[in-house]
Structures are given as structure tokens and as C-alpha cells.
Structure 1
Amino acid sequence: MVKTLIFQCFHLIKIRKYSTELLKFVPKCSEVSEADVQLLRKFIDDSRKILVLTGAGISTESGIPDYRSEEVGLYARTNHKPIQYQEFLKYSHIRQRYWARNFVGWGIFSKRQPNAIHFSIRNLECDLGKVSAVVTQNVDNLHFKAGSQNVIELHGSAYRVICLKCKSIYNRHYIQEELKKTNLHMCEESTMVRPDGDVDIPQDAIQGFKPPVCPSCSGILKPDIIFFGDNVPKERVQEVRNTVTKSDSLLVLGTSLSVFSSYRIILQAVEEKKNICVVNIGRTRADDIIDLKISVRCGDIVPKVC
């Protein structure tokens, strides 16, 4: 009996320690109030079809940092600069550097799991039939892992790799196995995690790294994500626009809307007089043009409503 109680206590301590570790990238925020819960519940109850727009602020609760949060965001903690699209295209050493760091970071990044927010959105879509589509700025695949069906990945997915020459698509896990074969000297273990799967590694390790090439045509391989300086494909933009028009409400979760690709969704919804609710810690680009803003942690409120 005593041994059982000791084991249970030890297990609870491990769970609490793990949860604290995952939440270390969540910025400080106010506690959710019952009034906040009722506001969000009424918004959802009054909506027939909701377009859910998500950002890095929901993945921080799965242990993946965002870029811009005060104190805990990637920009606040490091001098890290995301890969630029044109640099990736032009320079082989930039591609070598990117793939070497991504190879090492892939293990911990790909093991991240959906949290209560992702599952709540899935319930709202699949069980309640309230969601027209989930538009996510995240490339971490967590909505699909949670079971959501109609997901538009605005900035692509780190789980797909595309050949820039023949346009063949490959599974990122397959590319990882191929990289292991050609880079036997590389250690693929890391405790670091970033929004794009990138990590810091020594320069000498980068210099000896062999980037992947397309198995079909030997062309340049690139993760199927929108790098900084690149544009969201026009057909994807149009798909989002059509979904906004077909929806009567827009629920924004965990994004400051700093990038225009997401902010223009708000502008369209305002122009079409849709109901809009934003749940986010801190200010967003849309605060002055929307009627309902709830400044709390998404994980504290969304599961209570969905």
C-alpha cells in the first residue's frame, strides 16, 4: 500500500513537472474569469459556421515557442533570424545550414503532441459541426494529430517536403531516414525546439552535412512551408477567402496577427460584417477594428467552452 502511494505521488510529480516544462513558452497573462467564459460560450452558441484561425499561441502549450511573445518568444530570447526564401534558393551553403539544423531539430519537433486547445477545436468541428474550416498559421501538424478534418495550412507544413524542380512531394519522416544514411556522423538529438524545427549546432557539423536531393530528379528539396519573404499561393489565399465568405463568424486563437497573410482574413471578415472574437495574450493587430477581444491563455478558456 505504501509503495503504491509513493509510486502514485512520484507519477503525479513527473506529470506536473512535464506540464510546467511545456508551458515555459507561454507568456504571463491574467486568469480567466467566468465572464470571459460566458462571452466565448455565447459567441460560439450564436454562430452557425465558424472559421477558426489559429497561430503559434496555441502551440506554445504543446511546448513549441512562438516568435513574438514578450520574454518567452524566440525573438525575445535569442537573436535567431528565420530562413529567408530568396537566400535558400540562391545559396547552397544556406540550404546546407538549414537542412543540418533541421535534421537535428526534427526529432523533438516532430514528437510534440496536440494539447487541449487542439482537441477542443476538433470537438467543435467534428462533434458539434460548428466549424467551416480551421485556418492555421502553424506548420506543426498538431491540428491533424488532434483529428481535425478540414484544415487549411496557410503557411504550409513542416511534415511535407517539395522538390523545387519536378514538384514531387515527400513525407518529412522519409527524408529524415534518407538523411541518416548520408550523414552517419551527425547526432540527431537535441533538447532545443523552435517554431520551424530549426536548432543551433556547431559550424563544423554543418560543413560536413550533405543536404537531401530529390530521389526523382536530383532537384533541390525544400520543406513545403512559406519561408519569410515568400508568398502564400494564390489558390490557397482564394480558398481562405471563399471560406470566410461562407462562414458567419471568425474565431481567432493565439495569434498577434502581425503577418499580413493572417491580418487580411480579419480585414475581409470586417468588410463582410462577420462576427469576430479574438482570444490572445497581449495586443493584436486587429484590436482596434474588432468588437470582442478576450486577453487570456487559450488553454484556460477554450476547453471550458468546447
Structure 2
Amino acid sequence: MRKPYMRIPYTDALAAPTIIPKSANALSGAVAALHEFLVAPSASSPSGRHPSTAVLTGAGISVASGLADYRGARGTYRVNKTYRPVYYHEFLNKHEARKRYWARSFLGWTTLHKAKPNASHFAIKHLNDLGLVQSVITQNVDSFHSQAHPNLQTIELHGYLRSCICISCHEELPRDTFQDELARLNPAWDAFLREILALGALDTEDPDERHARGMKTNPDGDVDLPGAPYTTFRYPACPRCLTDPPLTANGVRATVEVDSDGAWVPTSTAGILKPAVVMFGESIHHSVKAAAEKMIDDADRLLVLGTSLATYSAWRLAKQAKDQSKPIAIVNIGGVRGEDAFFVDLDPNQKGNQGARVEISTDELLPILVEQLRSSNVQATHEAPDYVAKTQGGSIFKDMLS
């Protein structure tokens, strides 16, 4: 019997938010509320130091970089009702599922690779420079945070697309290198990719325009081509496993075989490369989870940016902050999972110091907030604590199950 697919949570629109405070309906009021949220004294902050803030981000902050989100008004789950991600157990067990995944990813990688951090990512860096933000937890796999603020402690909760990782030996391979191998093994697909790039079919950020050109663009560097011959696609084996096949759990040497061009063949029992991300149906490695929880523990407050918190791994971190009675501010276009519970006990007359809910795009809001904070002489800086998962390598992703 086929294993039933896990349900993707919250694919329909969530309830519209209640803006907090009411003045945050306007841009000026939203800036004022977040200013108050970030600088208001905290009982847990040492005298003379600004309260420390942990930031939790989602796909919404990368939309301005040309990437899709999931549950926004034009997000994948809203405009492409047939979209279903490749599940981890499928990828692990089915050669055909891996062909489909890598074919679509091969087409989408160019768009992700050339995309750059936007004003939201750099505003977070500036908030750190001002001593107001001490850590970032991101659900995003685009690596924009590490590009925009490499010195700010950042946990990539769901991994990253910049590398592949071997399921057997856990060695990482740069995605650029892997992409070159995919191009070499699939010359017809490579020619097609060059053609659509020349036509500009992947240049537009408008999902309707891409759809009109025969493409459905999904998050995480994935392009769907209806009717595409995915069964013809080939992918390489892990170079390390090919040279030195690992031992299996029962002590037998694994088999890693390739065809005459170097493509992995299904008679192999090891050497499968996967994206270094937490796929649907995997779980976050315990060390990543613990590091993210410590960031919440160490912060005085939590700022949530560009996420509906539909994913449990993110929602539970906001719930952790709430359970610790820490102020929470949420900036997101559209509703957020269970958001009323985060603000239920606020003083109706508070100005943002106890919490805030804003529905304005982060790329519009955050740069103005930074400039206001600078003009008000917020200049103190502090060193971020050294978290265990500061740099995530392949070993962190070897046991993920959901």
C-alpha cells in the first residue's frame, strides 16, 4: 500500500490580522510602534544596554528579491493549487522522484543563484549594528541572510540550497558544481535552459507571466514544466561514495555504480545526493533545533518578519517566546497562524513596547525604521553570543525526519 502523503498545513488564506497598536495601520504609525518595541526597556536587560531581539524570518522577506513565497496572496499554495513538494521518503526511495526533483531544480537554480538580498536583509544587518538585534532564525533556504550580514549569528532552520549533501556519507558538494554536472549529463535539458534564459522566460517576477509562458514557478528554486520528460533526466553520484563506497548498517560495503557518463544508476545502494535542506517529511536536526531555542531563550523579545508561522518548527519558537512572557512583534502581509494568542494580554493603550502587529511589506518598512532609529541616536552595539550551529555543515542534516 502506498504511504499516504502528509497534509500541507494552512494552504488557504488565514484570518486577516488585527493591527496593534491601531496607529500601526499607517506606515508612520508602524515605524513608531516597532521603534518602541525595539528600544523599550526590558526587565531582563542589564542597565545601559538595549533589549536584545531575536528575529524569525520567512519567505515573505525574499519576495522583493524575485523569489516566490508560499502562502502570500500570490504564493505557491494560493495560485498553484496542484503544487505538491517532493516528500523526503519519496526522494529517498524513488529514482523517478529524484529525476523529477533535480530536473525542476536544474531549471530553477539559475533564478535563485542570481537573486540577491534585498532591503529587508540589509535592514536586519543595520539593526544588529545598532545593537538591537542579536540573532536571526530563518526558515528560508536562499542564504540571503548570510550574504547580507555574515557576522550576525544566523540559524538556517530548514537548511540551505547552496549545497547538496550525500545521504550515505554526509559529504557536502557545492550546488554550482552539482549544477555543472547536471548540465553535462543532460545536454538537451541544458540547451532548453539556455533557450528559455535567452528568451527571458525566467526573468520576470510576475507568476502570471511565467505561467503564460508555460512555466509554474514554485519556492526553493523549483520550476514546473507541464508534460516535461522528467524520466529522461540523469543526476550524478556522490563523488566520495563513488571512490570509497561506505559501509552499510550491517557492515557490508555499499554499491555505488554509474553509467558510462557518470550518472547514478538504480542498482546502487548508496551515493544519493540531496539538497541540504529539510525536505517535507524530514525533521530538523536536534542541534539546529537546540540552537534556535537557545536564541529565543537568550533574547529579550522576538521580531517575526515575513512568515505566516504555518510551519510548526517556526510557530513553536514564537510559542516559546510567548510562554516566556517575551514581547512579540509580527510584520507580515496576510494572516498568521494563531496570532491572536500572541497579543491577547496586551494593554490596549500600549504603543508597541509590549507587542505589535503590522501588515506592511518589510522592504518598505524596515529601511525607514532603521533611519529613524539612527536619527534618534540609537548607536550602542553589542557582540552576539556564539551559538553551536553558527556554521551548518553536512553532519547537521544527516538525520532529519519532520
- TM bin (shorter chain): 0.7 to 0.9
CA distance in 2, matches of 1:74, 1:134: 25
1:195 aligns with 2:224: no
Quick one: which of 257, 275, 291 aligns to 1:223?
275
Structure 1 segment 92-103 matched on structure 2, within 5 A:
92-103=95-106
Q: How far is the alpha carbon of 1:88 from its aligned partner?
A: 0.7
Q: C-alpha displacement at 1:130, in angstroms? A: 2.3
| Distance in 1 of aligned mates of 2:94 and 2:339 | 40
Written as runs of structure 1 = structure 2, the 5 A alignment for 1:174-185 is 174-185=177-188
Farther-moved stretch of structure 1 (41-50 vs 93-102): 41-50
Indicate conservation of the 8 Å contact 1:258/1:284, yes or no: yes
Aligned partners of 1:278 and 1:293 also within 8 Å = yes
Shift of 1:194: 2.7
Matches within 5 A, 1:83-162: 83-125=86-128, 127-149=129-151, 150-162=153-165
Please report the TM-score for the alignment, with normalisation by the length of structure 2: 0.66
Out of 292, 300, 303, the residue aligned to residue 251 of structure 1 is 303
Q: Decide which structure has the larger Cα Rg and report it.
A: 2
Equivalent residue for 2:329, pick from 259, 267, 277: 277
Counterpart of 2:181 in 1: which secondary structure? helix
Structure 1 range deviating more: 77-86 or 259-268? 77-86
Separation (CA, whole Å) in 2 of partners of 1:198 and 1:128: 37
Conservation of the 8 A alpha-carbon contact between 1:53 and 1:134: yes
Does the 8 Å CA contact 1:256/1:285 hold for their aligned counterparts? yes
Equivalent pair of 1:50/1:132 in contact (CA under 8 Å): yes
2:75 to 69, 73, 76: 73
Q: Which amino acid aligns with 1:263?
A: W
Post-superposition offset of 1:109: 1.6
| Unaligned 5+ runs, structure 2 | 1-16, 18-23, 41-49, 203-209, 211-216, 243-270, 344-355, 371-402
Per-residue deviation, residues 108-137 of structure 1 (Å, max 9, x unmatched): 121111111011001112x22322211000
How far residue 94 of structure 1 moved from its aligned partner, in angstroms, is 0.1
Contact kept, 8 Å, 1:258 with 1:285, in 2: the verdict is yes
Contact 1:109 1:194 in 2 (8 A): no
1:214 to 238, 242, 249: 238
Q: Distance in 2 between matches of 1:204 and 1:50?
A: 46
Q: Deviations over 1:220-245 (max 9, x none)?
A: 00001111111111111110111111
CA distance in 2, matches of 1:261, 1:302: 25
Q: Which amino acid aligns with 1:91?
A: K
Sort the Cα spacing of 1:43 and 1:148 in 2 relative to 1 into closer, same or farther, 3 A: farther
- Alignment-mate amino acid for residue 321 of structure 2: A
Matched residue SS, 2:342: coil
Give the 3-state SS of the residue equivalent to 1:211 in structure 2: coil
Question: In the TM superposition, what whole-angstrom CA distance separates every residue of 1:196-243 from its partner, at most 9, and x where no partner exists?
Answer: 111123645422211121011040000011111111111111101111
Deviations 1:8-51 (A, max 9, x none): xxxxxxxxxxxxxxxxxxxxx99743111100111112252111
Cα gap change, 1:243 to 1:50, in 2 (>3 Å): same
* Contact 1:121 1:148 survives alignment (8 Å): no
Tell me if structure 2 keeps the 8 A contact 1:32–1:300: no
RMSD over aligned Cα, in angstroms?
A: 1.9
Aligned to 2:358: 294
The answer (yes or no) to whether the contact 1:53–1:250 under 8 Å persists in 2 is yes
Whether contact under 8 Å (2:218, 2:224) holds in the other structure is no
Bigger Cα displacement from structure 2, 35-44 vs 283-292: 283-292
Q: Could you list the per-position Cα deviations for residues 41-69 of structure 1 after superposition, in whole angstroms to 9, with x for gaps in the alignment?
A: 11112252111000011011111111111
Aligned to 2:38: 44
Residues paired across the two proteins, number? 277
Identity of aligned residues (%): 38
Cα-to-partner distance string for 1:255-304 (whole Å, 9 max, x where unaligned): 00011000000111011111111011121114212232112211221111
Amino acid at match of 1:208: T
Which residue of structure 1 aligns with residue 352 of structure 2? none
Cα distance in 1 between the residues matched to 2:227 and 2:238:
25
SS of corresponding position for 2:357: strand
CA contact (8 A) 1:102 1:199 kept: yes
SS in 1 for 2:112: helix
Structure 1 gap segments, 5+ residues each: 1-28
